[in-house]
Structure 1
Amino acid sequence: MTEKTFKTLDDFLGTHFIYTYDNGWEYEWYAKNDHTVDYRIHGGMVAGRWVTDQEAHIVMLVPGIYKVAWTEPTGTDVALDFVPNDKKLNGTIFFPKWVEDHPEITVTYQNDHIDLMEASREKYDTYPKLVVPEFAKITYIGDAGQNNDDVINQAPYAGMTDDIRAGKFYDANYRHPNQK
């Protein structure tokens, strides 16, 4: 795990995080650049889902505290507040009713199934939304650099986050030569 002090927006961009919400859901998230994020979901109702090149609004609120927000093609809205110097995060996920009722539809590489996400959003109920506000503990911080397509480029597997935290997944250049 990288030990660094976050002060500027540039300190945050290019950083790879693993965090676990207080409800037990584990997520992996990467600030790919100043307008794009990638992520994998390892625990919770949509575990197995992964996404690359998600457009997002990324700002620094004050030195070392960052706000990231986006809307997915599923209609899910996400707002995350990162406090990486304290290894904390607060997130709120606003799941449309259809995702709560049919989470299995979303458990895929979203980028290959945008049409399905949009069709499901139109076919099923979107309201009432399931609002999941949670605090999380950041359990891994990696300095992957910006626009590194090796950070999130395969489906999650059981034990992946343990492999990453143990230094078994990425090499010294933040690439994973033993891609599973």
Structure 2
Amino acid sequence: MTKTFKTLDDFLGTHFIYTYDNGWEYEWYAKNDHTVDYRIHGGMVAGRWVKDQEANIVMLTEGIYKVAWTEPTGTDVALDFLPNENKVNGTIFFPKWVQDHPEITVTFQNDHIDLMEASREKYATYPKLVVPEFAHITYTGDAGQNNEDVIAEAPYKGLPDDIRNGQYFDQNYHRINK
């Protein structure tokens, strides 16, 4: 995709895959002006995926966007997207319990909100593990807003490559193998 990002509307509906400098790989979708979906393919919570996460999404200046949210786990996330430069700067604030028990979060979060909230109350929150990293965008796709096919199944080995190689979505940005 060779789109130039200028407005917030250019950003909304965009699907990204990016890899942090620490090697963690994430897939992220700006579903609409207040919701994001994502899958985590690498790092301490690889295998986790989330749909319909409420988020604050703004354009800071032409082509630069900030997205921030708090998960039911108590994890706070702040991402700055510079898609015209294929860059992301992210800071993730993991509660102590996620650092100590990441396996609890490695699931489809939407089906386990009660477990995430209970774990947040049961285990230690502080000190938080702060992970500030730059990332390189390795894929950008124009999925359109509110496309339920973008993040619709658990992450699996090779999924990001299937997407990058054009083997996951058809020309209308719908999953090929449902």
Common topology (TM > 0.5): yes
TM-score by length of 1: 0.98
Q: CA deviation at 1:158?
A: 0.0
- 1:93-108 mapped onto 2 (5 Å cutoff): 93-108=92-107
The percent identity for this pair of structures is: 83
Give SS of 1:10's match: helix
State how far apart, in whole Å, the 2-side matches of 1:176 and 1:65 are.
29
Give SS of 2:97's match: helix
State how far apart, in whole Å, the 2-side matches of 1:78 and 1:19 are.
15
Equivalent residues, number: 178
After superposing on structure 2, the runs of 4+ consecutive aligned residues of structure 1 that deviate more than 2 Å are none
Q: Deviations over 1:15-46 (max 9, x none)?
A: 00000000000000000000000000000000
- 1:87-98 mapped onto 2 (5 Å cutoff): 87-98=86-97
Determine the structure 1 residue equivalent to 2:84: 85
Structure 1, unpaired ranges of 5+ = none
Give SS of 2:161's match: helix
Give SS of 1:100's match: helix
Q: CA deviation at 1:3?
A: 1.1
Letter in 1 for 2:152: N
Q: Deviations over 1:55-112 (max 9, x none)?
A: 0000000000000000000000000000000000000000000000000000000000
State how far apart, in whole Å, the 2-side matches of 1:147 and 1:83 are.
22
State how far apart, in whole Å, the 2-side matches of 1:7 and 1:48 are.
33
Give SS of 1:152's match: coil
State how far apart, in whole Å, the 2-side matches of 1:75 and 1:3 are.
36
State how far apart, in whole Å, the 2-side matches of 1:161 and 1:177 are.
14
The answer as to 2:128 corresponding to 1:129 is yes
Q: Give the conservation status (yes or no) of the 8 Å contact 2:167–2:176.
A: no
Determine the structure 2 residue equivalent to 1:115: 114
State how far apart, in whole Å, the 1-side matches of 2:12 and 2:163 are.
19
Determine the structure 1 residue equivalent to 2:75: 76
